[in-house]
């Protein structure tokens, strides 16, 4: 039988454990060995991506309305959710557009890391990791950044509305010669 005191001790241990980072990192898009974030349109991901785009645009591009590119595979509803949180902006539609590219998101407890790519004035692209912390009212703030000095290819647009559905392939039909050969085959008539 548990006493009130032992229940309180277990509760405190659970609180301390959950707030000290014992949780695993979840990632989107998935990487081997890490937990995958199920759906990028579920909070807090749209909020995290919007804040990363806002920060990246203010810090590196300084465009009036940010142009952004989300990870491959996100849905139109995710783009819409991010745009609502930005209160403007637009999805990257052309490869030559100057945009903030969200490459990967990692979350754990009240922390997030976002890898973004931005174009420099000289035409090259930089990869930056934003380290974020959740604040009151589900707001995420960038605490510090890490600029990586590696060559990054210019990302291509991933906006789902640009993807054209593939036309269904026509079913295979037998060649005329095959049909005629089957009609000429006397063994095909043996039903007995």
Q: Distance between CA 66 and CA 125 in Å, rounded? A: 17
Q: Does residue 96 lie in a domain region?
A: yes
In a domain, 158, yes or no: yes
Distance CA 24, CA 90 (A): 33
Note whether residue 64 is domain-resident: yes
Name residue, tokens 């539609």: 93
**Based on C-alpha coordinates, what's the Rg of the chain?**
26
Distances (CA, A) of 80 to 90, 149, 153, 185: 9, 32, 26, 62
Range of the domain at 138: 23-165
Q: How far is the C-alpha of 119 from the C-alpha of 121, rounded, in Å?
A: 7
pLDDT in tens, 73-122: 899 999 999 999 999 999 999 999 999 999 999 998 899 999 999 999 99
Tens digit of pLDDT per residue, the chain (192 long)? 556 665 555 454 555 444 545 667 788 887 777 676 667 777 889 999 999 999 999 999 999 999 999 999 899 999 999 999 999 999 999 999 999 999 999 998 899 999 999 999 998 999 999 999 998 877 899 999 999 988 899 999 999 988 755 555 555 544 545 545 445 555 555 554
Question: How many structural domains compose the chain?
Answer: 1
- pTM here is 0.72
Residues, the chain: 192
Instruction: Report the DSSP beta bridge partners of residue 35.
Output: 26
Other residues' Cβ atoms within 10 Å of the Cβ of residue 107: 22
Contact 69, 91 (CB under 8 A): yes
Q: Whole-angstrom Cα distance, residue 40 to residue 79?
A: 10
């Amino acid at each position: 039988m548990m006493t009130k005191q032992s229940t309180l001790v277990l509760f405190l241990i659970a609180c301390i454990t959950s707030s000290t980072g014992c949780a695993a990192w979840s990632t989107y898009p998935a990487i081997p060995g890490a937990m995958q974030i199920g759906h990028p349109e579920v909070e807090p991901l749209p909020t995290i991506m919007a804040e990363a785009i806002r920060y990246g645009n203010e810090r590196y591009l300084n465009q009036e309305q940010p142009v952004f590119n989300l990870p491959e595979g996100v849905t139109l509803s995710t783009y819409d959710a991010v745009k609502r949180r930005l209160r403007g902006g637009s999805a990257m539609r052309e490869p030559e557009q100057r945009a903030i590219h969200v490459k990967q998101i990692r979350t754990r407890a009240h922390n997030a890391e976002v890898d973004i790519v931005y174009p420099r004035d000289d035409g090259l692209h930089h990869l930056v990791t934003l380290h974020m912390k959740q604040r009151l009212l589900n707001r995420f703030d960038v605490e510090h950044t890490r600029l990586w000095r590696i060559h990054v290819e210019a990302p291509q647009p991933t906006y789902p509305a640009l993807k054209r559905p593939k036309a269904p392939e026509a079913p295979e039909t037998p060649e005329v010669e095959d049909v005629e050969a089957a009609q000429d085959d006397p063994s095909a008539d043996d039903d007995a």
